[in-house]
């Protein structure tokens, strides 16, 4: 059958899941470009690479549906080849090969050289930092480590990403310099567990040292930290945050729950008392810090009392940013041996309740910002607004600052000083100073 492909030998990389997958897709695209391949990100192409997510049920479903969608297009001759990589493929390759056999080839999370070979390209080790970034030009993710050594009972990530492996500081500085030379002003540090950084390579938690090197990179104005872990948090990071203006007064630290029984069952290695003390030390050490956290509700055995404890704690802690997931019963995780006894309906009700509480807190905190001035970065123009963020806001997950574009002229990717004029629960309105 003659294929009626749209573009000859254009490789379209499709990314699903988290920022670590975005990073991996960018590395893949950088390697393909270096081998002279015509590569695009989520545009039309006759060869498709789907970088999948295998974290929780919803994400797995989205990955499978995306594969099926492209298999349909292959059936109809719109695309010639479909390759699948990433976490879902790492975790379920044998099942996928049986269920969706017409995929040209499946690759795991550590099989980049093999995937490149299948795409007619060579893996070039020397390409440190040669990524084709897919984020807006002013910010980029910097993955400082891969894998995770933690035993969290509900989490399948170590099954898909392996053991923790830190990237050497000098390689990360080289990468940051290249990104800065391409106009990146904001580095978003990511890993499965950011605060574990260096324990394998330098035999000590070395995130503070890394930050001190990254702030020296010309052109980088903001450095943001995502995916910290509460147990063994390296407190010297707070000192760097206090002393270095380039390090955003912002931290993302998923805490998952606060009931001691649930934390114990989750194998988080911490308690309500220890976690509360850590957050209070954050507040004391860097008072203006914005703390983002993520919680899981509906974990096996979560009682009404556990949930009430969590609600009361969220009200007491008043996090600046908070997200809430419903527990997903993941095979081959430790928690899979437990009975998934909280119904999907109750899980969703509990998640809605937590987000109700948080939207009230966020509204109150945002209202307090009216009249204050902030430095914002302009990410894009949307309708009649320029859309920006303060150092307290990470892309895609936090507040946005909306600036009337009908009587202001701002450049995307540039910084501006603004005064907050109004606020809703998750957005701020501002005028340029
Ligand atoms: S630290 Fe994060 S990635 Fe590692 S096991 Fe726990 S939840 Fe999963």
Express each pLDDT in 202-218 by its tens digit: 999 999 999 999 999 99
Closest C-alpha among 411, 191, 259 to residue 199: 191
- Cα–Cα distance, 334 to 330 (Å, whole number): 9
pLDDT for the residue 4: 47
Task: Sort 40 into a burial class: Cβ within 10 Å, 0-12 / 13-18 / 19+.
Answer: middle
Of 120, 62, 53, which is closest to residue 88 (Cα–Cα)? 53
pLDDT at position 136 over 60? yes
Minimum CA distance residue for ligand 1 atom 8:
155
pLDDT tens for 102-132 read 999 999 999 999 999 999 999 998 787 789 9
3-state secondary structure of 12: strand
pLDDT digit string, tens, across residues 325-353: 999 999 999 999 999 999 999 999 999 99
For residue 5, what is the DSSP state? -
Q: Residue 3 pLDDT more than 60? A: no
Q: Which of 54, 86, 269 is nearest to 157 (CA)?
A: 54
Nearest atom (ligand 1) to Cα of 151:
5
Whether 193 is in the pocket of ligand 1, judged by its Cβ within 6 Å, is yes
Task: Copy the structure tokens of residue 281.
Answer: 């030390």
* Band of pLDDT at residue 1, cut at 50, 70 and 90: very low
Give percent of the chain above pLDDT 90: 96
Average pLDDT rounded to a whole number, residues 73-82: 97
Mean of pLDDT values over 46-50: 98
How do residues 229-252 score in pLDDT, each as one tens digit? 999 999 999 999 999 999 999 999
pLDDT tens digit sequence for 285-300: 999 999 999 999 999 9
The beta-strand segments (E) located in 162-216 are: 165-166, 186-190
DSSP string, 110-149: T-HHHHHHHTT----TT-TT-----S-TTEEEEE-EE---
Residue 317's closest CA among 263, 289, 276?
Answer: 276
3-state DSSP call for residue 216? coil
pLDDT band at 168 (very low <50, low <70, confident <90, very high): very high
pLDDT in tens, 13-42: 999 999 999 999 999 999 999 999 999 999
Cα torsion angle, 142, 144, 149, 151, sign:
negative
Is the pLDDT confidence value at 8 over 70? no
Does residue 210 have its Cβ closer than 6 Å to ligand 1?
no
Over 50: is that where the pLDDT of 354 sits?
yes
Helix (H, G, I), strand (E, B) or coil at 187: strand
Q: Give the residue, out of 18, 91, 147, 193, with the most ligand 1 atoms within 8 A of its beta carbon, to mutate for a pocket test.
A: 193
Going by pLDDT thresholds of 50, 70 and 90, the confidence category of residue 6 is very low
């Amino acid at each position: 059958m003659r294929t009626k492909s749209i573009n000859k030998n254009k490789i379209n990389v499709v990314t699903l899941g988290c920022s670590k997958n975005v990073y991996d897709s960018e590395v893949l695209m950088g390697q393909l470009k270096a081998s002279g391949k015509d590569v695009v990100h989520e545009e039309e192409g006759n060869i498709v690479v789907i970088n999948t997510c295998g974290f929780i049920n919803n994400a797995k479903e989205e990955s499978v549906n995306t594969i099926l969608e492209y298999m349909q297009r292959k059936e109809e001759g719109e695309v010639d080849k479909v390759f699948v990589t990433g976490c879902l493929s790492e975790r379920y390759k044998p099942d996928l090969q049986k269920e969706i056999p017409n995929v040209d080839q499946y690759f795991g999370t550590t099989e980049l050289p093999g995937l490149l070979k299948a795409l007619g390209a060579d893996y070039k080790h020397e390409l440190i930092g040669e990524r084709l970034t897919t984020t807006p030009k002013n910010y980029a993710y910097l993955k400082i480590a891969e894998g995770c050594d933690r035993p969290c009972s509900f989490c399948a990530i170590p099954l898909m990403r392996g053991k923790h492996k830190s990237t050497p500081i000098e390689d990360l500085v080289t990468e940051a310099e290249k990104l800065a030379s391409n106009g990146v002003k904001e580095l978003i540090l990511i890993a499965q567990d950011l605060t574990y950084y260096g324990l394998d390579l330098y035999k000590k938690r070395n995130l503070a040292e890394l930050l001190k090197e990254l702030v020296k990179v010309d052109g980088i104005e903001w450095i943001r930290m995502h995916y910290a872990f509460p147990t063994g948090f390296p407190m010297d990071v707070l000192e760097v945050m206090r002393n270095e203006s380039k390090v955003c007064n912002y931290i993302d630290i998923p805490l998952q729950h606060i009931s001691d029984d649930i934390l114990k069952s989750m194998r988080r290695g911490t308690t309500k008392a220890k976690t509360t003390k850590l957050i209070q030390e954050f507040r004391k050490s860097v008072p203006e810090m914005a703390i983002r956290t993520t919680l899981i509700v509906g974990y096996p055995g979560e009682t009404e009392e556990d949930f009430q404890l969590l609600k009361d704690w969220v009200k007491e802690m008043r996090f600046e940013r908070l997200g809430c997931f419903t527990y997903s019963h993941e095979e081959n995780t430790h928690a899979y041996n437990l009975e998934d006894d909280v119904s999907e309906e109750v899980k969703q009700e509990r998640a809605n309740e937590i987000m109700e509480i948080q939207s009230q807190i966020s509204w109150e905190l945002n209202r307090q910002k009216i009249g204050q001035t902030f430095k914002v970065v302009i990410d894009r123009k949307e309708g009649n607004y320029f859309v920006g963020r303060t150092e307290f806001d990470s892309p895609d997950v936090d507040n946005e600052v909306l600036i009337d574009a009908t009587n202001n002229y701002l450049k995307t990717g540039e910084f501006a000083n603004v005064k907050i004029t109004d606020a809703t629960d998750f957005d701020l309105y501002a005028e340029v100073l």
